[in-house]
Amino acid sequence: METLQESEKIIAERYRILGKLGQGGVGITYAAVDLNSNQKVALKALSLRLTSEWKKIELFEREAKTLSGLNHPGIPRYIDYFQVDTSQDRCFYIAQQLAPGKSLAQLIENGWKPNEDQVRHIAYQLLEILAYLQSLLPAAIHRDIKPQNIIIPKNGRVFLVDFGAVQNTYHHTVTGGSTVVGTYGYMAPEQFRGKAVLSTDLYGLGTTLLFLLTQKFPSDLPRHKLKVKFRNSVSISTEFADWLEKIVEPAIEDRFHSAKDALSALRGEQPSGINPEKMFKRSPQSRITLIDAKRWLFINIYPARLPSKLKGFFQFINLTGKVLLPCSLFLQVFHLILSLIAVPLNSTFSVFKYTVADWLGKLFQLFVFVSLQAVIIFIVFYALRCLCLISYCLLSRQIQISPQDIQRVKLSGIHLPLLKKSITFCRIRTKSRNYCFGLFWPQAEKEWLVGELNDFLSKLK
The pLDDT tens digits for 412-461 are 887 766 666 778 888 899 888 888 888 777 787 888 888 888 877 776 65
Query: pLDDT at residue 174 above 50?
Result: no
Q: Is 435 left (phi over 0), alpha (psi -120 to 50) or beta?
A: beta
What sign does the dihedral 184-186-190-196 (CA atoms) show?
Answer: negative
Cα 19 to Cα 159: distance, rounded to the nearest angstrom: 20
Which overall architecture, per CATH, does domain 10-97 show? 2-Layer Sandwich (3.30)
Give how far Cα 386 sits from Cα of 55, 303, 450, Å.
32, 15, 29
Alpha-carbon Rg for the chain, nearest whole angstrom, is 31
Q: Provide the residue count of the chain.
A: 461
| Distance set, CA 360 to CA 133, 340, 435 (Å) | 65, 12, 61
In sequence order, the β-bridge partners of residue 44 are 29, 94
**Angle formed at CA 283 by CA 277 and CA 288, multiple of 5 degrees:** 65
Q: Give CA–CA dist 183/144, Å, rounded.
A: 6
pLDDT at 277 (0 to 100):
44
Given a contact cutoff of 8 angstroms between Cβ atoms, the answer to whether 86 and 129 are in contact is no
Alpha carbon distance, N-terminus to C-terminus of the chain = 61
β-pairing, 90-97 with 159-160? unpaired
- Tell me the per-residue pLDDT of 267-321, one tens digit each, with 9 for 90 and over: 887 655 555 444 455 555 556 767 665 566 777 776 554 455 555 555 665 666 5
Burial 348-382 (b: 16+ CB within 10 A, else e): eeeeeeeeeeeeeebeeebeeebeebeeebeeeee
Q: Looking at residue 439, what DSSP letter applies?
A: T
Measured CA to CA, the distance from residue 70 to residue 105 in angstroms comes to: 25
Question: Is pLDDT above 90 for 179?
Answer: no
Architecture of domain 287-304+396-461: Roll (2.30)
Specify burial of residue 444 (Cβ count, 10 A radius: 0-12, 13-18, 19+).
exposed
Q: Are 154 and 102 in contact (CB under 8 A)?
A: no
Write the pLDDT tens digit of every residue in 243-257: 999 999 998 888 998
Taking alpha carbons only, the member of 289, 240, 291, 261 closest to residue 119 is 240
Average pLDDT of every residue of the chain: 78
What are the domain boundaries of the chain? 10-97, 102-278, 287-304+396-461, 308-382
What is the per-residue pLDDT across 310-350, written as a single tens digit (0 to 9) for each? 555 556 656 665 666 677 667 666 666 666 555 443 444 44
Secondary element (H or E) of residue 93: strand 90-97
- The residues annotated as belonging to the active site are 144
Closest to 290 measured CA to CA, from 453, 173, 133, 458 = 453
What contacts 279, CB < 8 A, 6 or more positions away?
289, 290, 291, 292
76-89 in b/e burial notation, b at 16+ Cβ within 10 A?
bebbbbeeeeeeee
CATH class belonging to 102-278: mainly alpha
Looking at residue 329, its amino acid is: L
